[in-house]
Amino acid sequence: MTDEMAGAGLSVQTVATNEIEDAADRALIARYRSVRAQTLALAAPLGAEDQVVQSMADVSPTKWHLAHTTWFFETFILRDHAPGYRVFDAQFNYLFNSYYEAVGPRHARADRGLLTRPALDEVHAYRAHVDARMEALLADEAALRRMDGLAELVELGLNHEQQHQELLLMDIKHVLSCNPLRPAYAERAGKNADRAPPLRWLSFAGGTHEVGHAGRGFCFDNETPRHRCWLEDFRLASRPVTNAEYRAFIADGGYEEPRWWLADGWQTVRNERWRAPLYWYEQDGEWMEFTLHGGRALDPAAPVVHVSYYEADAYASWAGKRLPTEAEWETAATSGTGAAGPVPFRLHPPPAAGDADLEQMTGGVWEWTASPYTAYPGYRPAPGAVGEYNGKFMVNQMVLRGGCCVTPVGHVRSSYRNFFYPHQRWAFAGIRLAEDAA
Amino acid sequence: MTDEMAGAGLSVQTVATNEIEDAADRALIARYRSVRAQTLALAAPLGAEDQVVQSMADVSPTKWHLAHTTWFFETFILRDHAPGYRVFDAQFNYLFNSYYEAVGPRHARADRGLLTRPALDEVHAYRAHVDARMEALLADEAALRRMDGLAELVELGLNHEQQHQELLLMDIKHVLSCNPLRPAYAERAGKNADRAPPLRWLSFAGGTHEVGHAGRGFCFDNETPRHRCWLEDFRLASRPVTNAEYRAFIADGGYEEPRWWLADGWQTVRNERWRAPLYWYEQDGEWMEFTLHGGRALDPAAPVVHVSYYEADAYASWAGKRLPTEAEWETAATSGTGAAGPVPFRLHPPPAAGDADLEQMTGGVWEWTASPYTAYPGYRPAPGAVGEYNGKFMVNQMVLRGGCCVTPVGHVRSSYRNFFYPHQRWAFAGIRLAEDAA
Amino acid sequence: MTDEMAGAGLSVQTVATNEIEDAADRALIARYRSVRAQTLALAAPLGAEDQVVQSMADVSPTKWHLAHTTWFFETFILRDHAPGYRVFDAQFNYLFNSYYEAVGPRHARADRGLLTRPALDEVHAYRAHVDARMEALLADEAALRRMDGLAELVELGLNHEQQHQELLLMDIKHVLSCNPLRPAYAERAGKNADRAPPLRWLSFAGGTHEVGHAGRGFCFDNETPRHRCWLEDFRLASRPVTNAEYRAFIADGGYEEPRWWLADGWQTVRNERWRAPLYWYEQDGEWMEFTLHGGRALDPAAPVVHVSYYEADAYASWAGKRLPTEAEWETAATSGTGAAGPVPFRLHPPPAAGDADLEQMTGGVWEWTASPYTAYPGYRPAPGAVGEYNGKFMVNQMVLRGGCCVTPVGHVRSSYRNFFYPHQRWAFAGIRLAEDAA
Amino acid sequence: MTDEMAGAGLSVQTVATNEIEDAADRALIARYRSVRAQTLALAAPLGAEDQVVQSMADVSPTKWHLAHTTWFFETFILRDHAPGYRVFDAQFNYLFNSYYEAVGPRHARADRGLLTRPALDEVHAYRAHVDARMEALLADEAALRRMDGLAELVELGLNHEQQHQELLLMDIKHVLSCNPLRPAYAERAGKNADRAPPLRWLSFAGGTHEVGHAGRGFCFDNETPRHRCWLEDFRLASRPVTNAEYRAFIADGGYEEPRWWLADGWQTVRNERWRAPLYWYEQDGEWMEFTLHGGRALDPAAPVVHVSYYEADAYASWAGKRLPTEAEWETAATSGTGAAGPVPFRLHPPPAAGDADLEQMTGGVWEWTASPYTAYPGYRPAPGAVGEYNGKFMVNQMVLRGGCCVTPVGHVRSSYRNFFYPHQRWAFAGIRLAEDAA
């Protein structure tokens, strides 16, 4: 999803009220503080100038992320639910509304980089102002229980903010990559792995399966309703495609050979003069990669990342395989063959560790699926302002699954549906192969 | 599909050899003559100047259609299978190849309208030259049986030519519509119907269904393999949406209200300043419609036509309904509730007649479905030159079903999958509503 | 000038009444017939399909030229001055108005190639209809003398039509050049010359000179008023730059070296990937040239043609020279050092013949000058509809002088000012060098 | 000029050695300190975020101006003339070269806003580093006299920096204007004048005049050589056109009526939807103006500013007048009828004071002339790196004269030639009318 989509959906079934009430409302306030602090921590390594620039229309400035996530709490919670709340600055509704048509006119997305004012300091003050009122509200247990759906709205706001944490990193990576100096967002400890574990194929049985969100935890509405679908037997690769494997595709002339490409993909390759993933570049005849740690030699064992759907599909064709559907992916992910826990947060996807049957289903790279992003059968847009446009992005985009190294830990689920246009490459997106069983 | 896609796929299971052999090969030669003559008949009302112009990149000139369909037979049949065949003009392979990368470089699609030469007379001579050799080949029963797959290739060529017959009419309609004189392609007998039959809702049971081509007749490879899928109970409208119904959407401010639209659709509405279907225009405060019969008052009872997917989806949202998936559409179409035969060929879709439960599933307008155009499970691209790119259009497009008034009679099937980009409007595309059963 | 500008100006001092009256009005009717017939003669080698296509926005279809020149007589003469005249088709005013805002709305210039109707036959009928009424009017001597300014309007219409004769050839050359078949407009007799005469430098004295139209013959208003200007001593090349000389500039890396180019020119070279004049192409390592006679080997002795102002200026810089100002050019042209008469009409500029001090000042190539196209001091736009926009093109364009091989014989004068944007190349434009005297 | 052009030319005759030597070299060091300090003073009201953003391709970030002017001294003086000088950062040559092809490849102009690094602090350090070495060099009188042309290079660098001071203000005005908050660059004392002095017409005699730089002071090479030209008698308005006068043009439908406009201007008006000068906007039915003091009510007595050449020309046509040529302007400016001294530096042009025959020839607004920017007769590009591209901007632009309120005091001369493309509006450009004498 682009930030246009972050927080697009309030789940219609995210009731989960017992859970929240039982663990006491203090859990929510603690979680609020934690998530909000994490956003500031992610911006901390950046100077004021880094935080204002927009390097392409898809990218938002860091400062805008800081303000927009705050605006979300102000607009959808404080303005309506906090008695006597005074809006911090009436003009911010125009500046920091992302795409909610019902909330009024807004600053054009492609012009977010023109906002030298409010200055970063003012945005920090805005955050502090809203946080103080939010924390007061969350500390008022009576109020929380009195207001129907408030806890769910807060939970939505926190998930929304987590999505923007990932976007912030994707976006600043693009901003920094446009600078000929190739500055690092953060220094890096450690070195490249020697090699990735060999690729294995895991088999899964077809039949009628259920997919979509189950249980009481939070989810976005596009994960619902849980529903049946029919699958044929299929096989899934044990790990994502590596840089070394992808480099072989390039070396074999992959970007010059139309037979591997979808027609729209081939058109894009030629128009954009693509010849490698987004952040690859050549230096003295060797492939290098720009990362959040700056430029460095390509790590052959790490997953290939920052490829478009077109490239993922072309690679799969060249390899004689295909991409999985999202139903296949979800079925495999819930089969119990994966690693025990998520890979920890990292600024670049590490090589697979060779420690499970199905590796890096989370925490490595978002994995392009063969499934266009559409409504599940029986999907209903949520009522009200927040959910006004729940389904409005359900065309022209492809689903990605699994989360990536810069996704906040705990944010994703096996039913989580991310989505991007097939030409987009600035997300941490990679490739996992599939094939028919027979 | 655009003409880029016409004939994109040779079915892998269109064996049907018995049928052809039994009915005698003479059936094929008769069919060849008939289809080829029909193409010329469709061009007959047009002057030479009409046949050379390209009004937008999606459109091809009539003359190009005449030549390209001929090139298809020359390239994929005569060149390889007719001993001693002399190519008519070696340069035509460059000029009239549509998109087959394996057949060599080709003239840019958007520049087809620059081909004032070869003149129309030369293209007619080209057709005659190829027809003479094709007919000689088809008359040679021994050859036909000796060459494996030849009859299937001829059948593919004829289906390809039929697709171009429809494209020829779509394209010339667009060319003529760009002329302020609004010239008619052909005069029209008859008058508008008074009213359309009332809209009824037909129920269909869910469960595991099979969709995709069955039987031995010809099909394109994207209709295969036949496969199972799971459907929930659903209901389908008895007839397409009418002009009168769509006019009410416009009158209700449909084109000014973002809430009904997908985000990409709303962007398109604003960028393109859409305010009605493609060929509608206002005259003295009344909606008029440009048709192949020239401009005329809008027929309120006739199906709305020349709408994009975005408009179809927005209309459905406004109406509180949705579009059917292609599996739902196919399930309904094969349920036995439809009209006995196809509506005859007409230059404009007529009002529904009120003579069946499920009306105008064929012969009226292509019906946008909610299904993105993707590969069926287990789909395999056909080997060889003709099938080289079978799946290369399977991204970014939406499936349409049913055929329309200008589709050659007998060309479509219930499993037939047409596809266009969601913004395209020059096909004879309309809307049939669906809804969940519950 | 583009056809937007053809006939932009009725001269305010083209009185010349004696001349017309003395020679009898029959001279005008004869000239009318001759000019109008010549236009049809130029279109005669072309098929109907050739005459409808527009290959870029600057180009107009042949058919449009045939109709627009006729519309000019109908609109500015017959409609107002021929009693009882019935307009041939009221819609033609919309279709064939080039740019006269006062005459009402008009068909967009870039869409002229969409006019498959009216068919060529109808346009021929339109010409015949207008010619019959024009000839009747011109035969009525009493009417001619009674109507003030009528003869001048006719003369303007004929000069306008002559401008379109040249445009017709420029335009069809571009149309045919877009066809991979490289068809010839006409076959050609003769062969290339062996060599051009050596380049000589002729000196001209500075001081106060007068430039602008003098005498009683017809001129366009941008040639007036005749006025004084100050010139320094200068020298002018005896003939235009040849293909061989220009080829040396290319061979020396002229198109890869920014130092020779104006900044806007260099930008254009890179954006458009220019590497030679418009119609040059390479074949087996040799430079070829597309001409109205089809493709052929480059004639090294012939003047280089179809270069932009940017290329002309860059060539001059590389050669250590400069382009002449238009005042210098006109001063030299009227100095009595040129060839006796104009070079005859040819479809391609021939090599200089070596028969005068100053060669090919007319009849070879239009010669780019260093002068931007601006108003002469004291210039006054003519009153009324025809002259409404006399000066509206006086910005962003450069003056060319002299006429070219496809300019109608007798159409140009030494004071004649043609003008194009500095990037345009489809006119028969070349280069004559100048330098300061000292 | 855009910043592409700032400092494009080292005058070939700006020897002026006596002056510099006489006043002692200390004058130069004092002037160096003063100019360099002024640039920092202009940036002082801005935050770091203000200084990094680029609001359109024509605009450069403040930080870039700070660095580029420093790079100029480093590259053209220190690197070659200061023994043992160590380049501050080798990568800065790539980042801060504006357009000097001979100095190597450079960062794309339109991407200057992507340079979040080097941070503002580093750029300040860069300035300090270069200033220290420059001041050491300038303090070394022996070195100064030993090195031929060094003082002239320093003088050029200072004039170059002054041009960038004006550009810095033009650019930041545009950046701030893009912000919906309409922030002020600086607060403003004072209020609008009541009224402008009445417009008077001053007569000037024609004949042979000399124009171009005279005397020994500094000038840019495009002001040379001084040369003769012929002028007819003319008249010039006593002051620039005011906002009130221009508002009357708008109220009279000036932006809806093609007859006043050059064809290219009219095209621009429609494409860009212009309906007033660049920074005008409507609020509650009144015209407001964005200024460096923020938004405020339009001052009817102040000169209209931020108009394009197209608008200046259209206004003149509507008023029945014309724009002056640059020779006319310079002749009038040197006639002794103007105000005694320059108007002081202001952030917005003030109303004329009514204190001279010819008012605000300097210090109000740059005045569009009718003269395209071309080479003077006998103009020679200067040799060497600095002068490599002296004339490369001499096409497609129009000359403006006089300087404006934000031009550094003392920077302009009566022979000074500024230039912009006819559609550009972000310079402080206005209108002074002229007419023929007769």
- DSSP codes, D245-261: HHHHHHHTTGGG-GGGS
* Contact yes or no for B80/B384 (Cβ under 8 A): no
pLDDT recorded at residue C386 = 60
Contact C393 D228 (CB under 8 A): no
Shared domain check, A398 and A283: yes
Shared domain check, A267 and A156: no
Token pair listed for A148? 């129907």
* Cα–Cα distances in angstroms (integers) from residue C270 to residues B318, C40, C254, C257, C311, in the given order: 50, 40, 13, 11, 13
Q: Give the model confidence (pLDDT) of C75-87 as tens digits.
A: 999 998 898 999 9
Place of tokens 């906040």: A408
Mean pLDDT of D103-114: 90
Residues near C218 by beta carbon (within 8 Å), at least 6 away in sequence: C11, C14, C16, C152, C155, C156, C159
Q: Is residue B193 part of a domain?
A: no
* Cα–Cα distances in angstroms (integers) from residue D405 to residues C132, D364, D420, in the given order: 65, 5, 17
Q: Is residue B184 part of a domain?
A: no
DSSP string for D292-357: TTEEEE--TTSBP-S--HHHHHHHHHHTT-BPPPHHHHHHHHTTT-B-SSPPPP-SSPPPP-S-SS
pLDDT recorded at residue B72 = 95
Flag whether D touches C (3+ CB pairs, 8 A cutoff). Answer: yes
Q: Give the model confidence (pLDDT) of D138-186 as tens digits.
A: 998 887 777 778 888 899 999 999 999 999 999 999 999 999 999 999 9
Give the model's confidence band at B178: pLDDT under 50 very low, under 70 low, under 90 confident, else very high.
very high
pLDDT recorded at residue B71 = 97
Total domains present in chain B = 2
Query: For residue D10, is pLDDT > 60?
Result: no
Flag whether B touches C (3+ CB pairs, 8 A cutoff). Answer: yes
Mean pLDDT of D32-49: 98
pLDDT recorded at residue A204 = 97
Task: Give the nearest chain B residue to A420 (CA atoms).
Answer: B396
Residue B318, SS3 per DSSP: helix
Contact C262 D395 (CB under 8 A): yes
Contact A116 D63 (CB under 8 A): no
Stated length of chain A: 438
Lowest mean pLDDT of C25-34, C179-188, C415-424, name the range: C25-34
* Cα–Cα distances in angstroms (integers) from residue B56 to residues B307, B424, B428, C54, C111, in the given order: 17, 12, 17, 13, 11
Cβ–Cβ contact D47 with A under 8 A: yes
Contact C49 B47 (CB under 8 A): no
Size of interface A-B (CB pairs under 8 A): 85
Query: For residue C406, is pLDDT > 50?
Result: yes
Report the candidate in D270, D240, D277 with the shortest Cα–Cα distance to residue D365: D240
Contact C259 D389 (CB under 8 A): yes
Query: For residue C7, is pLDDT > 60?
Result: no
Q: Is residue C60 part of a domain?
A: yes
Top pLDDT among C340 and A348 is at: A348
pLDDT recorded at residue A429 = 98
Contact D47 A114 (CB under 8 A): no
What H or E segment, with its residue span, contains residue B56? none
Dihedral of CA atoms C356, C357, C363, C368 in degrees, nearest 10, equals 170
pLDDT recorded at residue D149 = 83
Q: Residue B358 pairs with which residues in a beta bridge?
A: B338
Q: Give the model confidence (pLDDT) of A99-127 as tens digits.
A: 787 778 889 999 999 999 999 999 999 99
Residue D360, SS3 per DSSP: coil
Mean pLDDT of D58-77: 97
Report the candidate in A112, A353, C49 with the shortest Cα–Cα distance to residue A361: A353
Chain D residues touching C370 at Cβ < 8 A:
374-375
pLDDT recorded at residue C41 = 98
Contact B230 A230 (CB under 8 A): yes
User: What is the CB neighbour count within 10 angstroms for residue D147?
Assistant: 16
Identify the domain containing residue C369 by its residue range: 201-436
Contact D49 A55 (CB under 8 A): no
Shared domain check, A208 and A171: no
Lowest mean pLDDT of C22-36, C46-60, D225-239, name the range: C22-36
Top pLDDT among C23 and C11 is at: C23
pLDDT recorded at residue B415 = 96
Portion of chain D with pLDDT greater than 90, in percent: 78
pLDDT recorded at residue C427 = 98
* Contact yes or no for B21/C23 (Cβ under 8 A): no
Token pair listed for D266? 């009219």
Please report, for the domain that includes residue A383, its CATH number. 3.90.1580.10
Q: Give the model confidence (pLDDT) of C277-298 as tens digits.
A: 999 999 999 999 999 999 999 9
Contact D377 C232 (CB under 8 A): yes
Report the candidate in A428, A401, A270, A262 with the shortest Cα–Cα distance to residue B396: A262
pLDDT recorded at residue C141 = 81
Contact A117 D49 (CB under 8 A): yes
Query: For residue D17, is pLDDT > 50?
Result: no
Q: Chain A 291-320, CB below 8 Å of chain B: which residues? A: 309-310, 313
All residue ranges of chain A with pLDDT < 50 are: 1-20, 22, 24, 388-389
pLDDT recorded at residue C12 = 28
For B415, list phi and psi in degrees, rounded to 5.
Answer: -95, 0
Residues near D409 by beta carbon (within 8 Å), at least 6 away in sequence: D342, D344, D345
Residues near B84 by beta carbon (within 8 Å), at least 6 away in sequence: none
Q: Is residue B183 part of a domain?
A: no
Q: Give burial (CB, 10 Å; 0-12/13-18/19+) of B385.
A: middle
Min Cα distance D30 → chain C (Å) is 36
Give the model's confidence band at D336: pLDDT under 50 very low, under 70 low, under 90 confident, else very high.
confident
Portion of chain D with pLDDT greater than 70, in percent: 90
Mean pLDDT of B322-334: 97
DSSP string for C5-31: TTT----TT---HHHHHHT-THHHHHH
Q: How many degrees, rounded to 5, is the angle at CA D263 between CA D423 and CA C159?
A: 145
Domain boundary among B161, B177, B193: B177
Q: Give the model confidence (pLDDT) of D303-330 as tens digits.
A: 999 999 999 999 999 999 999 999 999 9
pLDDT recorded at residue B281 = 98
Contact A113 D53 (CB under 8 A): yes
What H or E segment, with its residue span, contains residue D116? none
Task: Give the nearest chain C residue to B96 (CA atoms).
Answer: C180
Token pair listed for C390? 């006399």
Shared domain check, A394 and A292: yes
* Cα–Cα distances in angstroms (integers) from residue B379 to residues A436, B11, B223, B373, in the given order: 10, 11, 9, 13
Q: Is residue C247 part of a domain?
A: yes
pLDDT recorded at residue A25 = 62
Place of tokens 């194929």: A201
For A284, list phi and psi in degrees, rounded to 5.
Answer: 50, 40
* Cα–Cα distances in angstroms (integers) from residue D420 to residues B77, D366, D368, in the given order: 63, 11, 9
Stated length of chain C: 438
pLDDT recorded at residue D340 = 61
Query: What value does the CA radius of gyration of chain D take, rounded to a whole number of Å?
Result: 22
Q: Chain A 165-194, CB below 8 Å of chain D: which residues? A: 175-176, 178-181, 183
Q: Is residue B71 part of a domain?
A: yes
- Separation between Cα atoms, residue A63 and residue A66, nearest integer Å: 5
Give the model's confidence band at B91: pLDDT under 50 very low, under 70 low, under 90 confident, else very high.
very high
Flag whether A touches B (3+ CB pairs, 8 A cutoff). Answer: yes
pLDDT recorded at residue C16 = 40
pLDDT recorded at residue A326 = 98
Task: Give the nearest chain A residue to B325 (CA atoms).
Answer: A377
Query: For residue B175, is pLDDT > 90?
Result: yes
Give the model's confidence band at C9: pLDDT under 50 very low, under 70 low, under 90 confident, else very high.
very low
Give the model's confidence band at C380: pLDDT under 50 very low, under 70 low, under 90 confident, else very high.
confident
Min Cα distance B132 → chain A (Å) is 34
Query: For residue D410, is pLDDT > 50?
Result: yes
Query: For residue D15, is pLDDT > 50?
Result: no
Mean pLDDT of B3-30: 49
Domain boundary among C125, C145, C177: C177
Task: Encode A106-135 in three state secondary structure.
Answer: CCCHHHHHHCCCCCHHHHHHHHHHHHHHHH
ipTM of the prediction: 0.93
Q: Is residue C151 part of a domain?
A: yes
* Cα–Cα distances in angstroms (integers) from residue B271 to residues A155, B265, B274, B430, C383, in the given order: 36, 10, 8, 22, 41
Report the candidate in B425, B164, B177 with the shortest Cα–Cα distance to residue B291: B177
Domain boundary among B143, B177, B211: B177
Contact A179 D120 (CB under 8 A): no
Min Cα distance A56 → chain D (Å) is 10
pLDDT recorded at residue D315 = 98
- Separation between Cα atoms, residue A381 and residue B259, nearest integer Å: 12
- Separation between Cα atoms, residue C170 and residue C59, nearest integer Å: 8
Q: Give the model confidence (pLDDT) of A204-256 as tens digits.
A: 999 999 999 998 899 999 999 999 999 999 999 999 999 999 999 999 999 99
Query: For residue B115, is pLDDT > 80?
Result: yes
Q: Chain C 56-85, CB below 8 Å of chain B: which residues? A: 63
Shared domain check, B392 and B325: yes
Shared domain check, C391 and C319: yes
Mean pLDDT (chain D) is 90
Subunits in contact with chain A (3 or more CB pairs closer than 8 Å): B, D
pLDDT recorded at residue B344 = 83
Beta strands at C286-291 and C294-297: parallel, antiparallel or unpaired: antiparallel
Mean pLDDT of B291-301: 96
Mean pLDDT (chain C) is 90
Shared domain check, C400 and C359: yes
Report the candidate in A213, A233, A208, A214 with the shortest Cα–Cα distance to residue A223: A213
Query: For residue C310, is pLDDT > 50?
Result: yes
Q: Chain B 85-124, CB below 8 Å of chain A: which residues? A: 99, 101-102
Contact C264 D394 (CB under 8 A): no
Question: Nearest CB to B49: which of C49, C94, C175?
Answer: C49
pLDDT recorded at residue A189 = 64
Beta strands at B418-420 and B398-401: parallel, antiparallel or unpaired: antiparallel
Residues near C253 by beta carbon (within 8 Å), at least 6 away in sequence: none
- Compute the Cα dihedral for A249, A250, A252, A256 and give only its sign: positive
Subunits in contact with chain B (3 or more CB pairs closer than 8 Å): A, C
Residues near D390 by beta carbon (within 8 Å), at least 6 away in sequence: D8, D9, D10, D221, D222, D381, D382
Give the model's confidence band at C15: pLDDT under 50 very low, under 70 low, under 90 confident, else very high.
very low
Q: Give the model confidence (pLDDT) of D266-300 as tens digits.
A: 999 999 999 999 999 999 999 999 999 999 999 99
Q: Is residue D171 part of a domain?
A: yes
Shared domain check, B151 and B211: no
Contact A372 B374 (CB under 8 A): yes
Shared domain check, C396 and C352: yes
Top pLDDT among A140 and B23 is at: A140
pLDDT recorded at residue D14 = 34
Shared domain check, B138 and B52: yes
The reported pTM is: 0.93
Question: Nearest CB to D263: which of C228, C393, C398?
Answer: C393
Top pLDDT among D411 and B343 is at: D411
Shared domain check, A163 and A33: yes
Chain A residues touching D55 at Cβ < 8 A:
114
Q: Give burial (CB, 10 Å; 0-12/13-18/19+) of A412.
A: buried
pLDDT recorded at residue C10 = 32
- State the DSSP code for A259: G
Shared domain check, A155 and A208: no
